[in-house]
């Protein structure tokens, strides 16, 4: 299976894999590939940036995620969300908390 991988401006270290089961025959028309994501989820992601196209059959392993889990999610729902490592999530939460506290005094 082929997929495209995106990252988002509001979430460092998080990647979203989008299934491309008909690749390369699905490239004739422009398409909103991120349209498979739930609207509420997509709205909170920020601006998307294409990272790469990946042929999962030709890729023996993936960094930080289980390839079988990725394939299962892509086949079941059309996308897979790779969350950032815990230390990155903790750092992001601390930065948001500081920003919120600083905004109290504005």
Question: How many domains does the structure of the chain reveal?
Answer: 1
* Range(s) of the domain holding residue 9: 2-104
The pLDDT tens digits of the residues spanning 11-30 come to: 878 899 999 988 888 877 76
Kind of pairing between the strands at 2-8 and 79-82:
unpaired
**Chain centroid to CA 2:** 15
Strand partners, 5: 17, 52
What pLDDT shows up at residue 77? 94
Compute how many other C-beta atoms are within 10 angstroms of the C-beta atom of residue 12: 13
Kind of pairing between the strands at 11-20 and 48-55:
unpaired
Position 106 pLDDT exceeds 70: no
Residue 97 pLDDT grade (very low, low, confident, very high; cuts 50, 70, 90): confident
Q: Give the CATH number of the domain where residue 72 resides.
A: 3.10.510.20
């Amino acid at each position: 299976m082929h997929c495209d991988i995106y990252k988002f401006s509001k979430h460092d270290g998080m990647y979203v894999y989008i299934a491309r089961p008909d690749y390369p025959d699905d490239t004739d028309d422009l398409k909103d590939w991120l349209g498979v994501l739930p609207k509420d989820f997509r709205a909170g992601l920020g601006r998307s940036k294409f990272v790469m196209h990946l042929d999962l059959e030709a890729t023996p392993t993936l960094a930080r995620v289980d390839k079988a889990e990725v394939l299962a999610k892509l086949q079941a729902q059309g996308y897979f969300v790779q969350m950032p490592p815990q230390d990155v999530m903790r750092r992001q939460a601390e930065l948001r908390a500081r920003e919120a506290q600083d905004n109290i005094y504005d």
